[in-house]
Chains A and B, each alone.
Chain A
Amino acid sequence: MPRWGMVIDLDRCTGCGACVVACQAENNVPINTEDVYHQRRAIEWIRLERYWEGEYPNIKARYIPVPCMHCQNAPCEPVCPVYATYHTSEGINMQVYNRCIGTRYCAINCHWHVRFFNFWEPKWPDSLKNQLNPNVTVRSRGVMEKCTFCIQRVVKAEHQAKLEGRDLEADEFTTACAQACPAEAIVFGDLDNPNSRVAQLVNSAVNERGYRLLEDLGTEPSVYYLKKIDPEAAAEEHSGH
């Protein structure tokens, strides 16, 4: 049984936003217009947070892509009264849109702010209606939605492997965000398969510069981050020794 996880290398991330666009297209996320941004109701299953470091003129932009952490001990799950959000045996935190009644308690109890509520009926311009992904439900008004680790791709790959009577191979498929990332900063895969890239990264790089967001809450997120290598800091450290 696979255990899906992700590694995001912030040293490679350029903040281009391709992951956000790819996710939007793959998962039928409604178009976030300017209005929706101003209302702070934009839906971005993976979002790019931009933080400034330092003072002008020595200022640096820091980017961090934040998808759902798929916590193994997710705080959003027990607070849902209708089991609309639950954990799969493969470690994915799932959302059942048809069960959701929209109490929004899961969003209150998610400290990564990665659960999104459909405040309005989602709309697409006519030109984009034909590009909706047929494998993904279009969510209606009044339900929560979130990153699913591209569950449709997971299911498709597992089904294909079953048809061919073989086990799933390492890195046979990947999520839309990881596929679109030009710098290959996002790596998705089976954490329990030693041959997968994500497992190898977790075993090597994560020990050196890895961390998980809000790890101290004890929710066991499945998304690992590799922190940025600061060349100046490294040089200083080197000369210091």
Chain B
Amino acid sequence: MQERHQLGEEAITRELFRPLVSTPAMMWVGFIGLGAVLAIFVFAVSWMFYWGLGVTGLHRPNMWGFMIVNFVFWIGISHAGVMISAILRLTQAEWRRPVTRAAEVMTIFSLMTAMLHPVIHTGRPWRTLYWVFPYDFWRNLWPDIRGPLVWDPSAILTYLTGSTLFLYTTIIPDMALARDRTTGWRHVLYSILALGWRGNERQWKMQTIAGFLLSGLILPVFVSVHSIVSWDFAVSLVPTWHATVFAPYFVIGAIHSGVSAVVTLMALMRWLFRFENYIRLEHFDSIGRLLIAVGTGWLWFFLLDIFFAIYPQEARELEIMQFRLFDWPFNVMTALIFIFGYFIPVPIWVFQRFRRNVKIMFWTSIAVNVGMWAERYWLIKPGLMRKYEWTFDWAWYRPSIVEISIVMGSFALVGFLLLVFSKIFPPISVWEEKEGVHFAQQLQVGKRRVNAIVREF
């Protein structure tokens, strides 16, 4: 169903290209605010490089902390792009059109941000890059492929390459559109990026096929990336990490937080760029329905993880499970995860009235991601604090100001990159919008005539 006035092609082009030519006041606020946090982030990372990891709150039992939690969180967010674009494209869900571009861009930027974390988190970051990419084969010293820390960069780099190609394939027609309407340096940039796109039938056919192929090819990668990230934990012997359910649990959690982040982004774009005609209430409605399913799936795995810890009746596993369910501060955190991750948002999404309210959708999606961040912390930290029965070596973890700055800065980094992107590229896919208009038909529903798309092909 398309609940809006019929828009002409010229109007669509003009409105969707508006962020490229004019900068709303709020955008300046965003640039300056996010830029300031980003400056703190850069300072914190440089400080850490200069003095070493001593400036973090990490110590002997807690060798991994906020940065790894944040890494898992951003990998989770990055799952949104493919979920929205590839799966919805393959299943021909019509409501994907206005959100695909933003979701894909968020995938790429959050993946890049996520990749930053394990690198800066190592003792000698300059060496880490050197060991992962580009690899110096001439020394005949090979990485240990038994270790998940080798699988991890392989999976993430594959995903980054795949989703960048996917984004680029879908952006070419828009680049040609921009090329034809700009002058100066922008014209040069868009001419290069458009790759000689003329919009003839052959090019459209190739582009469509490439889009479909890439969506199909990227789906296994999409499942594997977060599975492999979960194996960073699951292959170790730490109680409560060592669980086979981790891979699907992480994937569903990633979709939950990623799709919620897309809702946040949709609301922000609608407010910032006044895209009411494109990001419409029906889109919030549809994504809300999807989120009910995803959120419930996530809850199921969350409970399964607890169940699988209890079921084998293994003393060490039980002890840490008890610690993180009933001991301060993890008891509060457990409640927080339940309430923010499920019990506030999902019952709200059940009602169409609330699904069609942008403010409510925005705040519930924020709640989900607060809950999901806490969930990653809850999954990763307690097992380390009380690793095995060496009570002599148990210790609490307290993040330092440097780690907190890095976590906050990672949010600013993704936000800043998204803003920069929307100044250079149209944040909503123009050709997909127009395609949607062409597919629409006038249908008689009761006494009303509405624009609706019954089937795409």
- Whether B384 is near chain A, meaning CB under 8 Å from some CB there, is yes
Interface centre among A39, A82, A143 (most CB of B within 10 A): A82
A217 located at the interface, meaning its Cβ lies under 8 Å from any Cβ of chain B in the complex: yes
Instruction: Check if B52 sits within 8 Å of A119, measured CB to CB.
Output: yes
A100-B123, A105-B149, A108-B236 are known contacts; what are 7 more A-B pairs with Cβ within 8 Å? A40-B395, A81-B147, A83-B143, A102-B124, A104-B64, A105-B232, A105-B236
Interface contact A51-B391, CB-CB below 8 Å: yes
Bound CA span A83–B61, Å: 22
List of B residues within 8 angstroms of A42 by Cβ: 60
Q: Are A117 and B63 in contact (CB under 8 A)?
A: yes
A141 contacts partner chain B, Cβ-Cβ < 8 Å: yes
Q: Give the residues in chain B near A119, CB-CB below 8 Å.
A: 52-54, 58-59
Evaluate contact between B236 and A117: CB separation under 8 angstroms: no
User: Within 8 Å of chain B (Cβ to Cβ): is A156?
Assistant: no
Q: Which residues of B lie under 8 Å from residue A49 when comparing CB positions?
A: 390, 392-393
Across the interface, B144 reaches (CB within 8 A) one of A39, A78, A108, namely A78
Residues B52 and A121 in contact, CB atoms below 8 Å apart: yes
Interface contact A107-B60, CB-CB below 8 Å: yes
* Residues of chain A lying within 8 A (CB to CB) of residue B244: none
A210 near B: Cβ within 8 Å?
A: no
What are the 6 A-B residue pairs with the smallest beta carbon separation, nearest first? A102-B123, A142-B123, A81-B149, A40-B59, A119-B54, A104-B63
**Chain B interface, >50% SS class:** loop
Quick check: A101 and B128 within 8 Å, CB to CB?
Answer: yes
Mark out the residues of chain B between 316 and 364 whose CB falls within 8 Å of any chain A CB in the assembled complex. none
Interface of A is mostly: loop
Known contacts A81-B131, A142-B124, A109 near B393 by CB under 8 Å = no
> Which residues of chain A have C-beta atoms less than 8 A from B51's C-beta?
120
| B388 adjacent to A111 (CB under 8 Å) | yes
Min CB distance, B103 to chain A, in Å?
31
A50 to chain B, nearest CB (A): 7
Closest B residue to A120 using CB positions = B54
A83-B143, A105-B149, A119-B54 known; A113-B64 Cβ under 8 A:
no
Asked if A41 lies at the interface with its beta carbon under 8 angstroms from chain B, I say yes
Given contacts A101-B122, A113-B390, contact A41 B54 (CB under 8 A): yes
Interface size on B, residues (CB 8 A): 41
Residues of chain B within 8 A of A78, CB atoms compared = 144, 146-147
Cα(A108)–Cα(B148), bound, Å = 13
Closest Cβ of chain B to A195, distance in Å, is 35
CB distance from A130 to the nearest CB of B (A): 25
Smallest beta-carbon distance B326→chain A, Å: 23
Complex CA gap A81/B391 in Å reads 29
Chain A nearest CB from B51 CB (Å) reads 8
If A108-B64, A108-B384 touch, whether A81 touches B144 (CB-CB below 8 Å) is yes
Question: Chain A, 81-122, contact with B by CB distance < 8 Å: what is the 0/1 string?
Answer: 111000000000000000111111101110111001111110
Q: How far is the CB of A18 from chain B (nearest CB, A)?
A: 19
- The answer to whether B123 and A79 touch across the interface, beta carbons within 8 angstroms, is no
Q: Which residue of B lies closest to A106 (CB)?
A: B63
Query: Which residues of chain B in 40-72 are interfacial with respect to chain A, using CB atoms and an 8 Å cutoff?
Result: 51-54, 58-61, 63-64
B292 on the A face (CB < 8 A): no
Docked-complex contact B123 and A105, CB < 8 angstroms: no
Q: Is the CB of A112 within 8 A of B144?
A: no
Is B150 located at the chain interface by the 8 A CB criterion?
Answer: yes
Of residues 122 through 163 on chain B, the ones whose CB sits less than 8 Å from some CB of chain A are: 122-124, 127-128, 131-132, 141-144, 146-150
User: Is B248 among interface residues, defined by CB-CB distance under 8 A?
Assistant: no
B297 / chain A contacts, CB cutoff of 8 Å:
none
Digitize B90-129: 1 where CB-to-A-CB distance is under 8 Å, 0 elsewhere. 0000000000000000000000000000100111100110
Shortest distance from the beta carbon of B416 to any chain A beta carbon, whole Å:
28
CB < 8 Å neighbour of A75 from B237, B391, B395: B237
B210 contact set on A, CB distance < 8 A: none
Alpha-carbon distance between A142 and B127 when the two chains are bound, in angstroms: 10
A8 at the interface (CB under 8 A from B): no
Other-chain residue from B54, B141, B147, B237 in contact with A80 (beta carbon distance below 8 A): B147
Tell whether B235 is near chain A: CB-to-CB under 8 Å: yes
Knowing A79-B236, A81-B147 are in contact, say whether A111-B118 is a contact too (CB < 8 A): no
Is the pair B237, A113 in contact by a Cβ cutoff of 8 Å?
Answer: no
Q: Is the CB of B388 within 8 A of A214?
A: yes
B238 at the interface (CB under 8 A from A): yes
Q: Enumerate 21 A-B pairs (CB-CB under 8 Å) in ascending A order.
A: A39-B54, A41-B59, A49-B393, A79-B235, A80-B147, A81-B132, A81-B147, A83-B142, A101-B131, A102-B124, A102-B128, A103-B122, A105-B147, A105-B236, A108-B236, A108-B238, A111-B390, A112-B390, A117-B123, A142-B52, A214-B388
